[in-house]
Amino acid sequence: MSPISIFVTSVLAQNIILTKFLGICPFIGASNKEKNAFHMGLSVMLVITLSSIITYVIYHFVLVPTNTTYLRTTMFVLVIASMVQLMELFLKKYLPGIHKTMGLYLPLIATNCAVLGVTLLNINNDFNFLQMLAFSVGSSLGYLLIIYIFATIRERLETSDISKSFDGIPIALLTAAIMSLVFVRYL
């Protein structure tokens, strides 16, 4: 597959949230405001892209030559956690406002399964470097896109008249379900 087609499929048809169900927790938790969702999506994008590159290099130049590929999950988790920590340090210093509004969800990116998922899929699919880059940027862009759309829908829902038993999270989950149906082309 060419990198371009990988990119397009990973953004839309194979969207990481709506078709692979990875990274759902911040998808629901950090999408109550349009701005929060955008920051969350951007941070996830940064972490996914950086850790994909680093884990790819580590896997192919350290683990494969030394026959220690069984270590990959541990290694990748370590790299991802450090990337998140690094980003937190930078945000705290240069963008303290964003650091504050994101709160707990920022360190929680370390356990966002979308990140580990993309890094492991890169390896399982036997991508070369360009394909890997296309896949990680594409998936994370898909993440940003979906969480942003979802947040705008949720903001709109806040001003509408919803029956009490559906207000808040239930209607958000239903929205996510319908979006997911759209993306797997049942609608």
Partner 1 sequence: MIGIFILTALAFVLSFVLVVVDARLNKVDGRLREIESLLPGYNCGSCGFSWCRAMSEEILKNKDIYIKCRPLRGKAKKEMEDYLGIEEVK
Q: Which is nearer to partner 1, 97 or 165 (CB)?
A: 97
Q: If we measure between CA atoms, which residue out of 163, 117, 154, 167 comes closest to residue 15?
A: 117
* 95 near partner 1 (CB under 8 A): no
Q: Please, what's the b/e burial string for 134-169 (b: 16 or more CB within 10 A of its CB; e: otherwise)?
A: bbbbbbbbbbbebbbebbebbeebeeeeeeeeeeee
H-helix segments, the chain: 3-11, 24-29, 34-58, 72-94, 96-102, 113-124, 129-158, 169-183
Q: Which is nearer to partner 1, 65 or 126 (CB)?
A: 65
Minimum separation from the CB atom of position 75 to partner 1 (A)? 6
Segment 50 to 69, residues that bind partner 1, using CB under 8 A: 58, 62-63, 66-68
> For partner 1, which residue of 8, 53, 71, 157 counts as binding (CB under 8 A)?
71
Minimum separation from the CB atom of position 187 to partner 1 (A)? 44
Q: If we measure between CA atoms, which residue out of 137, 141, 134, 121 comes closest to residue 2?
A: 134
> For partner 1, which residue of 74, 124, 159, 160 counts as binding (CB under 8 A)?
74
Q: Which residues bind partner 1 (CB under 8 A)?
A: 58, 62-63, 66-68, 70-71, 74-75, 78-79, 82, 85-86, 89-90, 92-93
